[in-house]
Amino acid sequence: MKLSPHFSLAEFTNSATARRLGIANGPTLDHIEAMGHLCRAVLEPVREQFSRPVRITSGYRTPALSRAVGSSARSQHCKGQAADFEIAGVSNLAVATWIRDNLRFDQLILENYVRGDPNSGWIHCSYRPDRARHSVLTYTRRKYWKGLVA
């Protein structure tokens, strides 16, 4: 099932952890609708801007899967509103900066980025049609910083 021209439900629900632990990772129709909003508002514009495929490393997670990967059962991933992603060959800081400056979003986190290693870490971005906090954070070593700190 396609969520948008370049993103599928299968890539949003793919999880090696879920397979290994036998956790069903099936979204509801509301979750699928939320993933479609995220694709159209954030992921498709990012793909168009950088003219390269966007690789989703973590999309939808059931609460059980979210806990299994060390995250919260209240994460926006569990609502279909968030994805972690990267673009091969493009600095995660550059992508995060472009999102911050050009798109409407709820939360943007540059996670585990290491200065001098442009492909380190990944980008977390969430989207809700009814809320755009435009919260921008950097996460490293179990600590959050406001803004994009590189």
The model's pLDDT over 101-147, given as tens digits with 9 standing for 90+, comes to 999 999 999 999 988 887 799 999 999 999 999 999 999 878 888 98
Residues of the domain holding 43 = 2-146
Provide the pLDDT for residue 138.
Answer: 95
Q: C-alpha angle with apex 116: 125 to 112, nearest 5 degrees?
A: 35
Burial of 6 (C-beta count, 10 Å sphere; 0-12/13-18/19+): middle
Q: pLDDT (tens digit, 9 = 90+) per residue, 70-110?
A: 999 999 999 999 999 999 999 999 999 999 999 999 999 99
Domain total in the chain = 1
> Of 44, 8, 122, 124, which is closest to residue 76 (Cα–Cα)?
124
What CATH number does residue 134 fall under?
3.30.1380.10
Percent of the chain clearing pLDDT 70 (strictly above): 99
Q: C-alpha angle with apex 52: 51 to 53, nearest 5 degrees?
A: 135
For the cut 80, the answer to whether the pLDDT of residue 150 exceeds it is no
DSSP character for 134?
-
Interatomic CA distance for residues 143 and 17, integer angstroms? 24
Interatomic CA distance for residues 104 and 26, integer angstroms? 27
Provide the pLDDT for residue 118.
Answer: 79
- Both tokens assigned to 24: 């069903």
Interatomic CA distance for residues 124 and 20, integer angstroms? 23
Q: What does the buried/exposed string (b/e) look like for 109-121 if buried means 16 or more CB atoms within 10 Å of the residue's CB?
A: bbbebeeeebebb
